[in-house]
Amino acid sequence: MENLALLRSTLLPYLPPPVVNLISVVDEALSDTLPEASMVFMLTILSIFLITTLLTSSRSYSSGTSSRSLASKRVPRDAVVLFGPRSSGKTVLLHSLLGIDDLTTITSMAVTEKVSPPLPPLIDCPGHPRLLATTSLYLRRATTILFVVDSSAAKTLPAAASMLYKVLTSPHISGCSSIVIVCAKSDLPLSKSPLRVRSALTSTIDSLRVSASTTEVTGVLGDNLGTNDITSESVPLDVGSDRSFNFDKHSPVPVKFLKCTTKGGLEGGEGMRELMDHVKKSSSS
Ligand SMILES: Nc1nc2c(ncn2[C@@H]2O[C@H](COP(=O)(O)OP(=O)(O)OP(=O)(O)O)[C@@H](O)[C@H]2O)c(=O)[nH]1
Ligand SMILES: [Mg+2]
């Protein structure tokens, strides 16, 4: 009997009021505990409700910001996207395209979108490798990609090629109409010609292509490019029966190389007019 009473007093706070009411009809000793039992029951229900609501909202918050859920959203393909490694000159170029001549910027840590009709939206993606998983999603908005490389810093070209390889193998670029490789900072004495830049990028991309296909064959998964990014979903570069990668033949999107400097502005900077023509054309494609 004692055990039964103990069990009853333990369970009572968790029973719904109608059940407690029912028990109290047969057991009058319970009438004193009835309000307390109801309170505890109500508080239990309230706590469960609050915890469930909190869990649901935190889940939807994190999915709202995760790259995976962003990737599943439908977005318009309407923009010119500036992509490329850190300090290659994207932000300064964005400003020049908008008619702002200023060579001073600080490292971008967030995506910037500028809307200035009649130009299409211009999206400047920071080059920091840690942000690549997020920034690569903006390739889905791209009608044209301006892939900016610092032509005056040869040592940065392998890293630029790794990034470009990811762009070329991203499933997000299948609807993009062109990629312009902007060989930026052509005013600097050590700057390389578009031909030299192209050859450096080609050889690194080809090695990456070969090592990616070997990794696939051996089944060893992993990101040999050192960053946490879009390679999880990639479309291999197909060179058919050719021995090596060639931009003209094997790129999934037409690629053009353009020598450029923002020094001199939109009117006077080498390559700036041609670049602006590309930007304008891409709004009508
Ligand atoms: N000489 C010269 N310097 C340039 C030119 N364009 C950019 N720079 C310089 O290059 C540096 C980097 O330029 P940013 O535009 O900030 O580079 P970014 O690609 O936006 O870099 P992240 O934001 O880190 O991805 C700055 O010090 C600029 O002044 C150019 O055409 N000529
Ligand atoms: Mg920047």
Report the nearest atom of ligand 1 relative to the CA of 94.
15
| Residue 210 CA, distance from chain mean position | 25
CA–centroid distance, residue 280 to ligand 1 (Å): 23
DSSP state of 238: P
Superfamily of domain 76-284: P-loop containing nucleotide triphosphate hydrolases (3.40.50.300)
pLDDT of residue 45: 75
186 close to ligand 1 (CB < 6 Angstrom)? no
In sequence order, the 6+-apart residues with CB closer than 8 A to the CB of 119 are: 80, 97, 98, 279, 280, 283
Does the beta carbon of 87 lie inside 6 Å of ligand 1?
yes
| Dihedral pair phi/psi, residue 134, rounded to 5° | -80, -45
The pLDDT value recorded for residue 240 is 87
Domain spans, the chain? 2-65, 76-284
Distance 99 CA to ligand 2 centre (A): 17
178 lines ligand 1 (CB under 6 A): no
pLDDT of residue 141: 93
Q: In this structure, which ligand is nearest to the CA of 101? A: 1
Bridge partners, 142 (sequence order): 79
Task: Provide the whole-model pTM.
Answer: 0.74
Tell me the CA–centroid distance for residue 148 and ligand 2, in Å: 11
Dist CA 164 CA 20 (whole Å)? 69
Residue 274 neighbours by CB under 8 Å, 6+ apart: 258
pLDDT at 136: 83
Distance CA 152, CA 186 (A): 7
In this prediction, residue 3 carries a pLDDT of: 67
pLDDT score at 172: 87
Q: Ligand 1 atom 7: the closest Cα is on which residue?
A: 89
Q: Could you tell which of 82, 83, 86, 91 is best to mutate to test the pocket of ligand 1, judged by most ligand atoms within 8 Å of the CB?
A: 91
Sheet holding 112-114, edge to edge: 112-114, 122-124, 79-83, 142-150, 178-184, 255-259
Q: Is 53 exposed, middle or buried (0-12, 13-18, 19+ CB in 10 A)?
A: exposed
Instruction: Decide: 108 in ligand 1 pocket, CB within 6 A.
Output: yes
188 lines ligand 1 (CB under 6 A): yes
Place of tokens 């040869």: 154
pLDDT in tens, the chain (285 residues): 566 667 677 776 677 767 767 766 666 655 555 555 566 666 777 888 777 666 544 443 333 334 444 556 778 899 999 999 999 999 999 999 999 988 888 899 999 999 999 999 999 999 998 888 888 889 999 999 999 999 999 999 999 999 999 999 998 888 899 999 999 999 999 999 999 999 999 999 999 999 887 765 443 333 333 344 454 678 889 888 898 999 999 999 999 999 999 999 999 999 999 999 999 988 656
Ligand 1 pocket, 103 CB below 6 A? yes
Nearest to 161 by CA among 212, 201, 210, 194: 201
Question: Closest Cα to atom 8, ligand 1: which residue?
Answer: 89
C-beta of 90 in contact with ligand 1 (< 6 A): yes
